[in-house]
A and B are shown apart, each in its own frame.
Chain A
């Protein structure tokens, strides 16, 4: 029935077959008339028919001859009629939709909400998970990191000498490129700009297959001489130069230089995050190795296509050994490692479940579509009478279906257009929910047109296909029955209502499951953003000093330098420069075992922590993994680590006074559970000195995201006074509201004021920020889901209940006439509607429980079965459901029985 109906609706009145039949009829008519004439003239009927046929000729050939004459005209006519009918259908559809403004608004609303939210969400998820990284051969690019045995987790930078040795020695690498980054103040025109400079060597551009979009990149000679030339980013070109192509050969003022602009980088290029300008790395002085070591660069390499990462890593360790042993390089003991630079950036930051978001988006799409299907079903039932009247007036079924289709198409068209606009808007609104400039360079959020096209297509297809079902239902009827005024309209339409309610139950189930999932995720975000890390480091720079020459051999002399730097950093002038509110502090990693040399000499360091000298109770290193820090008096203050009990370090803690230790709460509890740790002693290794516990501070947490879910455990820390332990490599921590980039660029000047020959490297603390940020992004996405789902459910519920009330006007009128109070009517309708709402709720809870098992891993500090979330979701949906039923119920209670009985 369906296919035939659709075909009849689509092909027009003048089918070819139709024309053929007409011709055949005409020809047959002629033969019959001739036969009749012959009979009238006295011939026998049988021979008259034979004679008539003989005189007529070959009917098939004649029919074909006629047909070939008719075809051109038929074609023209078909087109014309089709066009006229189409216009007519659309005019009719517009009128019909105008007559039902409520229905139209609700369907359009549903479609627009559906298209906009699904598109926006898909766009975001796509940019996070699947958009190809904006770098050529991203998977083969690795970053080289150097580390020293003493500080196992540091240093992404090496000296240029190491970089060139890597380029020379490593067979596994196709290319090795050194780069470094700096932030400078630039003046372009009259405007000051904060410029992120990327300084690279000549291998960088080929490694990334980077080309200038206009002009050129630095030439080999310019790279070798470190010429003052640069290529500016597309963004700077457009914002500061208005996209003027005469920008080439102009100069801009950066720092103390006036480099020449030679080209414009392609749009969207940023490495490792933002890049405003790219220029040649200053070349190392080739002769003097010791000064060459003062400069450090980051190193990128591109693996040969046929080399596995493991093979490259093996070669790298061999080369690292060779570099270490080469006395000419003076690098000291280093190990080199590599990590997939580009892939890591993505993997470290995203929540490892694209399927979660895709699943949620699909659910939302389903909800929107089922909502529309419900409404269409209800409307089809509602229009049975109208259809019957039109059918009785001669409109064919095909025509009725065609008009229903026209309505769907019109709705879909308007919804598609508005939905596209709305999704663009939604993406803008969502972007505004995030702080600017925090996106990783590879994420370029924006409305994805392919995603939009896909969503619109899905929604429209579903609308039209689903819209056709009610149209077919609505046109299949028994004319006389449907026309019987007020007869069994109720019975017929109750089928439609039942189908609509079934759909609505499923839809409610889906949206409550979605809501619960979103609720859990939003709580995860809240929990992540509320983690008290126990310290604040957003504005703190961790500055290390490279003591590579022979002038600072002893730990004491190195500490002295660091202390001098910190002291100068405490000056009014410096703090004004970086807008620092606290004085710089010192920290050093490493084992603070001033007198533990014997243990070290024996072999493996003794990591045992021995509380109160009680070797029996000695807590093995693997049981309590305390991290040891040597810090100065200002450390806790600078990082805002709060004291819990006892005291922090002060002037009393000097080399010659009693060795003291400050514990983190975690460590204190591990070592002395249910005791006051103050006054107890802690020995580090069997031969270490005993440190007296003088204070306890709050725990410090780390937050990691990534593929294994969230982790924000407290760490067990032991803090020693930097004056009482042998320090390895003191760092200066500097805090200031000028921003970490600014502080990092200023620090070398501070260091130079102590010793001009020293070189520094800087980093930031607080690695939790990106994880928190990404969690926030996804929190916003899931929140959007939840709200959209709830909205759609309310729309659907309202629509169905309102329709049900409309259908029962007569019945309700009778009830009122028989004395039912309006409270009674409201109660009746609400309680009847709640029956299927509760069914949806029950199914939804089961769905949510099942889904919760799947996404447990992305939750943080909230159970997948969190009762509060479930309760809130149930309560909210019930409340909203009651509201959605209550309004139509109120209207029903206000029905005037007289007019209700008269109508229909």
Chain B
């Protein structure tokens, strides 16, 4: 789980955040890719995904790490779709990393909002 550490490169900051959001989206039950994208859009209220497609490499990465399980099934309108479900390992990552991210995001936000040049 080295990719979850905070010491990663800047690219990984975005990656990690996306991973966590995806895992969070699945805590209410299995979803297909589009469903996850919709949830993220609504939940974050922002365009977290510049290109919606970038969701999919992330999903496949999570699958490879066995943080999510995949299964082909039928969606509500009887179309074949690939469903993702959070795996026990995924829940564990979510639990341990979410607080870290809270503090991290908080810190970034605070820093970006501050007006004083000299904090001393």
Contact = CB atoms under 8 A, between A and B. Distances in A.
B88 interface: no
A33 B34 contact: yes
B79 A30 contact: no
Interface stretch (A59-67, A136-144, A305-313, A795-803): A59-67
Contacts of A326: none
Contacts of B56: 23, 26-27, 30, 62, 65-66
A29 B33 CA distance: 9
Interface stretch (A69-77, A101-109, A867-875): A69-77
A56 B57 contact: no
A56 B33 contact: no
Interface in B36-88: 37-38, 51-57, 59-61, 63-64, 72, 79-82
Contact of B53 (A25, A62, A70, A72): A62
A65 B57 contact: yes
A197 to B, nearest CB: 79
A73 to B, nearest CB: 5
B91 interface: no
A37 B34 CA distance: 10
Nearest to B50: A57
B24 interface: no
Contacts of B57: 62, 65-66, 69
A56 B79 contact: no
A169 interface: no
B51 A55 contact: yes
A57 B63 contact: no
A722 B72 CA distance: 111
By secondary structure, the A interface counts as helix
A513 B34 CA distance: 75
B53 A73 contact: no
A30 B64 contact: no
A26 B56 CA distance: 9
Contact of A30 (B52, B72, B80): B52
A69 B60 CA distance: 6
Contacts of B82: 22, 25-26, 29
Contacts of A55: 51-52
A257 interface: no
Nearest to B72: A22
Nearest to A65: B57
Contact of A34 (B34, B61, B64, B80): B34
Contacts of B79: 29
A56 B34 contact: no
A69 B53 CA distance: 15
Contacts of A56: 51-53
A20 to B, nearest CB: 12
Contacts of A59: 53
B107 to A, nearest CB: 30
B30 to A, nearest CB: 14
A27 B53 contact: yes
Contacts of B37: 30, 34
A29 B76 CA distance: 13
Interface string A39-82: 00000000000000001111100100110011011000000000
A72 B63 CA distance: 11
B81 A29 contact: yes
B54 A69 contact: no
A57 B51 contact: yes
Contacts of B61: 69
A29 B61 CA distance: 19
A62 to B, nearest CB: 4
B53 A58 contact: yes
A29 B64 contact: no
Contacts of A72: 64
Contact of B80 (A25, A27, A62): A25
A615 B38 CA distance: 133
A77 to B, nearest CB: 11
Nearest to A29: B81
A29 B34 contact: yes
A802 B64 CA distance: 56
Contacts of A25: 80, 82
A902 to B, nearest CB: 45
B23 to A, nearest CB: 16
Interface string A422-459: 00000000000000000000000000000000000000
A66 B60 contact: yes
A714 B79 CA distance: 99
B88 to A, nearest CB: 18
A69 B3 CA distance: 14
Contacts of A26: 33, 56, 81-82
B83 to A, nearest CB: 10
Nearest to A70: B60
Contacts of A23: 56, 60
Contacts of B60: 23, 65-66, 69-70
B97 interface: no
Interface in A654-676: none
A23 B56 CA distance: 9
Interface centre among B53, B64, B82 (most CB of A within 10 A): B53
Contacts of A73: 63-64
A57 B34 contact: no
A57 B54 contact: yes
Interface string A1-40: 0000000000000000000001101110110011001000
A418 to B, nearest CB: 46
B39 to A, nearest CB: 13
B64 A70 contact: yes
A358 to B, nearest CB: 58
A25 B70 CA distance: 14
Given A26-B82, A29-B32, A34-B34, A57 B53 contact: yes
Nearest to B37: A30
Nearest to B36: A30
A37 B72 CA distance: 22
A271 B55 CA distance: 84
A68 to B, nearest CB: 8
Contacts of B38: 37
Given A26-B82, A55-B51, 10 more contacts: A30-B34, A30-B53, A34-B34, A55-B52, A56-B51, A56-B53, A57-B52, A69-B63, A70-B60, A73-B64
18 contacts: A23-B56, A26-B82, A27-B53, A29-B32, A29-B82, A30-B37, A30-B52, A34-B37, A56-B51, A57-B51, A62-B51, A62-B53, A62-B57, A66-B57, A66-B59, A66-B60, A73-B63, A73-B64
Interface of B: 32-34, 37-38, 51-57, 59-61, 63-64, 72, 79-82
Rank and list the top 9 A-B pairs by shortest CB-CB distance, nearest first: A57-B51, A57-B53, A69-B60, A65-B57, A33-B34, A62-B53, A66-B60, A56-B53, A30-B34
